[in-house]
Structure 1
Amino acid sequence: MQTEKVVDYIVNWLKDYAKNAGVNGFVVGVSGGIDSAVTSTLVAKTGLNVLCVEMPIHQAKSHVSRAHEHIALLKKRFDNVDATRADLTPVFEEFKTEVFLDGDQATVDMALANTRARLRMTTLYYYAGLYGLLVAGTGNKVEDFGVGFYTKYGDGGVDISPIADLLKSEVYEIGAFLEVPESIMNAAPSDGLFGDARSDEDQIGASYPELEWAMKMDEEGKTEDDFSGREKDVFNIYKRYNTSNKHKMIPIPICEIPSNLL
Structure 2
Amino acid sequence: MRVDAFLGGRLRIAQPATGYRAGIDAVLLAAAVPAGAGERVLELGCGAGVASLCLGARVPGLVQTGVELQEGYAALARRNAAANGIALEVVTADLCALPDGLRSRAFDHVLANPPYFQRARGSAAADPGREVALGEATPLSLWIEIAARRLLPGGRLTMIQRAERLPDMLAALGHRLGSAEVLPLAPRAGRMAKLVLLRARKGGRAPFRLHAPLVLHDGDRHEVDGDDYTPALTAVLREGRAISWPT
Q: Normalised by the shorter chain, which TM-score bucket?
A: 0.3 to 0.5
Higher helix share: 1
Q: TM-score, normalised by structure 2?
A: 0.36
Higher strand share: 2
Q: Relative contact order (C-alpha < 8 Å, sep 6+): which is higher?
A: 1
Q: TM-score, normalised by structure 1?
A: 0.35
